[in-house]
Structure 1
């Protein structure tokens, strides 16, 4: 008798647990029906407005310097009051000068327009090289447009190589100003708040920052600059909770030493940094995951565990990097595109505490999929692997979080339960402390219920006052251009 009734008891307990967790409600069927009816009748414009207004959770896979729109870069590069008093120059011509500089990612190509230098770096150039550069605030309209386009993927032929090998090298000194990056963090919080997000977990570091005279900030000084900016009233007013992951460039020669330093720094600054992330091209074999296993095991002997969210599976070839990343101790996988080729690891991740951070726009623009019919996202979602949408380097894609949601709903016909699970997952799998996480989840459920009741009461008329701010991606790829406006200082 016990065996016969055990499955029924387990099913009942499972339903009760789901109700308590807020994942299923007695009106779930009704919610499904109204959303399905809306999808069936809505055009792309209404669907986008709906998704822009929809309460969302967090962005867990966000590179800070890659998330800033070109217009923001221009504003801060030319506004000394906001950028800490720096002055910037950019290369506008090539005069075949013999020398060229270096940056933290290695030697930059000489034949590269719009490489950015702060005044102290510019003054160190030869006279020939100085003739190649122009103050950014002195660019003519054509040069200004070209400069802004140089920091985003705006042409069909641009893809992976343009992104990995030129964008970061062009930014150069702009990315080494802590005041600019702290200001950019708040700009991202303000923009995400308008889209209904409540949490941001961005990737950044505290080293390699320089003062206007070229001398170095200490890591502690940079951390305090971020803390001070996040405490200001306009940042607090966004309602967005911001935390940081410290990035490790995985393929450099001394990456193990870097990991040790980062691990100890994060341990001392857990109020600001909640995790560590290994970044960099996975097709550079020097960054293979198991390289770091001995170092992590040594660190975990003496230091309380630090959450890991590591890029894995962002590569064309089938391999076991996702599995190996889990062995490192990661609880979140960034991208995970080739996880689909590793069925054993997929089975391991089903109904688990491991999350895959899905970056739909990034994977398309960097050619990891040719079109969305090849993307494994719906397979992961519908076989029970926890997933959440994220924006990756949205400034360079010229996109936002609503674009990610729009692609997901339009290309994969998400149900209401699937759609809302993405936001819940992003909060449940965040690295925020338990108290913060509970508050974020409660706030999300409250906002979601209010949104649902308003829409069910008023239908599409509930969207009449919704004015989305979209960007280049959704216009170019879906011809939805009426919401696209330049991202200016007001953003």
Structure 2
């Protein structure tokens, strides 16, 4: 694949004087795969290698959880807000009676111990179970309430931070989960009680309110993007690298509310995806083990099934199987992934950790492989939240079953990481080859919801679609195909990045 694709690129793309020169040097130099084998047991050089390694996409990334605690505290200081040391959170107001337990966020720079305590509370940094904070699961999910007071006002700065980090991480595409305008959607649901499974009546009751809810969601997204563009200086000579990262959104809804509030979010969320091309799909989030989420799980899946008929063509990536026997009774582990696939119609599954505990896992895995249902693998958060890692994680099971996978970050700010960290962890834990890493990277774009046909036939990297099978000659049909498909253009750009990366690393003395 490398020689076929790279041979069609102009010398300027590869940083070589000519394709002929690249070919002659490449014969003498070790391949990128050989370089990877040299460094895979050297953690420092492996991290360097994989940081520069081109990554197709991060498809499971909650924007509000992607932000580091230091940024949250900086914004709180700038906004003149107060922090509580007893509650270990950012408050939504200025200090009225500053004291030992509350003081202005702007003063944290003079109180290093307090600042570090807040950073630990707002993230997983240095988490150690204690009598008052015994669970990584609970600590992780508690962080969001601790910085929620400032999240809405800084959406654009969050987006800018996420894009710049992705650029430094050599990520081509971000599919961020966001919830613009979700408050009014929830409120609308409480105005229209849901009667059992009468979803048609619920839809009809909300119909007149949906356009305004969608407009609010779009307006909030407009403001967020405008703010991010200003922060990143896009379109100016001082543009940040993040400006070059392609971004689309999944509308995320909350599963821990009463049924009528969940339904209203879903209905309005589907409508938002249909109305705004920046939104390419839908998800449902919050702890899957929450008692309300567990009780209503099957009802939620039926909601998705119903709305698929009302709003055809909306793609779903659903959190499912983010569970262990330590969190819920074994009865609760039997069917969540299967229901997400077979009832809700999910194209992708987020986490999927408990797949081996589902009823008839063999047939489920076979179905997922046959239908190309991709799993978004979040190794760090699965370790931090569920305590599942290494051989206990189903990563190897999915590989053995032929289920497509891509690595993702989940909440990289809360977890104090990035996508490179996920690649390093996967490489070190599961003895992955360089080809395996490229497969994971390519899968991110192949299964992204960005519009357009894939560059690859039947999800097989290296097997070009018919329009481009004349390579290394770029035919008129291939040119037209690339113009017609945003996804294929991003995939083409990823292959160009692989060519550039591989030409560079094979001549870097530090890797020899």
TM-score (norm 2): 0.72
Quote how far apart the aligned CAs of 1:346 are: 0.7
Quote how far apart the aligned CAs of 1:439 are: 1.2
| Aligned counterpart, 1:323 | 338
**Unmatched 5+ stretches in structure 2:** 8-25, 130-134, 185-212, 326-332, 453-484
| Aligned counterpart, 1:262 | 269
1:187-231 CA-partner distances (Å, limit 9, x unpaired): 111111111101111111112689xxxxx9943431211232354
> 1:186 is paired with a residue of what secondary structure?
helix
Q: Is the 8 A contact 2:159 2:225 kept in 1?
A: no
Q: Which runs of structure 2 are paired with 1:28-427 in the superposition (5 Å)?
A: 34-35=34-35, 37-39=37-39, 42-79=41-78, 86-93=79-86, 112-119=87-94, 133-139=102-108, 140-153=111-124, 154-157=126-129, 158-164=135-141, 166-177=142-153, 180-207=154-181, 218-232=216-230, 234-235=233-234, 237=239, 238=242, 239-253=244-258, 254-270=261-277, 272-288=278-294, 289-317=297-325, 318-327=333-342, 328-341=344-357, 342-369=361-388, 371-427=389-445
1:327-363 CA-partner distances (Å, limit 9, x unpaired): 2011010001111332221111125421100000001
In structure 2, the CA distance between the partners of 1:36 and 1:241, relative to structure 1 (3 Å rule), is closer
> 1:60 is paired with a residue of what secondary structure?
strand
Residues of 2 paired with 1:286 and 1:458: CA distance? 54
Residues of 1 paired with 2:339 and 2:490: CA distance? 31
**Unmatched 5+ stretches in structure 1:** 1-14, 80-85, 94-111, 211-215, 463-491
1:231-274 CA-partner distances (Å, limit 9, x unpaired): 4563564210011111111121021122112222232222x211
Q: Is the 8 A contact 1:90 1:133 kept in 2?
A: yes
Q: Is the 8 A contact 1:312 1:322 kept in 2?
A: yes
TM-score (norm 1): 0.75
Quote how far apart the aligned CAs of 1:171 are: 1.3
Quote how far apart the aligned CAs of 1:45 are: 0.7
In structure 2, the CA distance between the partners of 1:338 and 1:241, relative to structure 1 (3 Å rule), is same
Q: Is the 8 A contact 1:315 1:368 kept in 2?
A: no
| Aligned counterpart, 2:200 | none
1:429-475 CA-partner distances (Å, limit 9, x unpaired): 1111112211110011111112112222345358xxxxxxxxxxxxx
| Aligned counterpart, 1:475 | none
Quote how far apart the aligned CAs of 1:277 are: 0.7
The runs of 4+ residues in structure 1 deviating greater than 4 Å are: 30-33, 129-132, 230-233
In structure 2, the CA distance between the partners of 1:235 and 1:291, relative to structure 1 (3 Å rule), is farther
- For the aligned residue pairs, the C-alpha RMSD in angstroms reads 3.1
> 1:452 is paired with a residue of what secondary structure?
helix
Q: Is the 8 A contact 1:314 1:368 kept in 2?
A: no
Quote how far apart the aligned CAs of 1:35 are: 4.5
Structure 1 counterpart of 2:502, from 452, 463, 488? 452
Quote how far apart the aligned CAs of 1:132 are: 5.1
Residues of 2 paired with 1:459 and 1:379: CA distance? 37
Quote how far apart the aligned CAs of 1:420 are: 0.5
1:403-427 CA-partner distances (Å, limit 9, x unpaired): 1111111111101111101111000
1:143-174 CA-partner distances (Å, limit 9, x unpaired): 2222222111122215001112x212211311
Quote how far apart the aligned CAs of 1:130 are: 9.3
